[in-house]
Amino acid sequence: MSKEIIDRLNLSAEKLLDLYRQRWVIRYFDEKVDECFAKGLIHGTTHLCVGQEATAAGACAMLEERDKITSTHRGHGHCIAKGASTDRMMAELFAKETGYCKGKGGSMHIADVDKGNLGANGIVGGGIPIAVGSALTSKMKGLGYVTISFFGDGATNEGSFHESLNLASIWKLPVIFFCENNQYGMSGSVKKMTNIEHLSQRASAYGIPGVTIDGNDIFAVMDATAEAVKRARAGEGPTLIEAETYRYKGHSKSDAKKYRTREEEMEWRNHRDCIDLFGKKLIELEYADAAKLEALRESALQEIEAAVKFAEESPLPSFDTIMEDVYA
């Protein structure tokens, strides 16, 4: 099945290896953020996507440069997958003026409009209506781009989710609603928060396609996203994708994860890790050997080490700029 998807999507060996490295970049970025937070180098809070790398990498791989995304509080992977600089991202988390928001936004507010990233959002479900507005702009002005809105399972219980799906459906907007179902909304199991088997079933209420996929299988992610992008560009309207995945870390730095078992976590880590599965598939299909994959992993680690060094050496914002970039 993987080879069929590779052929259908015309994925080159270079593209596949880039995706393998990119997922290590995402993982090492968030693991380094975790480490730096513990050392007191990063303040506030952070929401890490360790374990979920396939969703961001696979979905964004199917986009063109002109296409847009909206992100979430757990958005570092989306930023990297859409082409953001890890130097500027890390500097933002270190509250340095070389960061994307000049050190004033922090983890949950990184945006890179030049790359099509319309921004992360500290409000659950907050990016969904923004994505609909972006898609409406594309349709009204004939710009031809599509927008992916990333959000978690918890956001599907927000009013903004339902209002956005309804509006996008009746106006046939070029938007993809991408739900990263990591099984828990904060500490609440999705099984206790909804009364349906799959969150994608909610698409039927709005007359749009809904599909549930293995979010740790990057081939499944790319295949579903490519189909949704094709529909959107053809003027056929939105799609709801539910990608079932798992976050290894807690909801945030204050989360002790008492609502789930160590056995459950280790099952995902040891048997369903998205990077490990992808690496094994690349070797099986003879796109790489173990030495090549190890070199890519090491390259990703060095990029993140360099990003930390850049952030540490960057200056803090001047006190004279305290009233700049304030809109209220």
- Let me know if residue 327 belongs to a domain: no
- Let me know if residue 110 belongs to a domain: yes
Range of the structural domain that residue 217 is part of: 2-312
Confidence of residue 323 (pLDDT cuts 50, 70, 90): confident
The pLDDT tens digits of the residues spanning 73-111 come to 999 999 999 999 999 999 999 999 999 999 999 999 999
- Let me know if residue 322 belongs to a domain: no
- Let me know if residue 318 belongs to a domain: no
pLDDT of residue 45 exceeding 80? yes
Q: CA-CA distance, 10 to 19, in Å (whole number)?
A: 14
CATH number for the domain harbouring residue 263: 3.40.50.970
- Let me know if residue 321 belongs to a domain: no
- Let me know if residue 328 belongs to a domain: no
Strand order in the sheet with 147-152: 68-70, 147-152, 175-181, 239-244, 210-214
Share of the chain above pLDDT 70, in %: 100
What does the pLDDT average to over 50-65? Answer: 97
Confidence of residue 253 (pLDDT cuts 50, 70, 90): confident
Confidence of residue 180 (pLDDT cuts 50, 70, 90): very high
- Let me know if residue 148 belongs to a domain: yes
- Let me know if residue 319 belongs to a domain: no
Residue with tokens 């199991």: 189
How much is the pLDDT for 257? 80
Q: How many Cα atoms within 13 Å fall on the side-chain side of residue 178?
A: 35
The pLDDT tens digits of the residues spanning 277-322 come to 999 999 999 999 999 999 999 999 999 999 999 999 999 999 888 8
How much is the pLDDT for 328? 58
What does the pLDDT average to over 12-18? Answer: 97
Mean pLDDT of the chain: 95
How much is the pLDDT for 321? 86
pLDDT of residue 187 exceeding 90? no
pLDDT of residue 68 exceeding 70? yes
pLDDT of residue 32 exceeding 80? yes
How much is the pLDDT for 325? 81
Taking the model in full, what pTM does it have? 0.95
* Overall domain count for the chain: 1
Tokens of 239: 């799609």
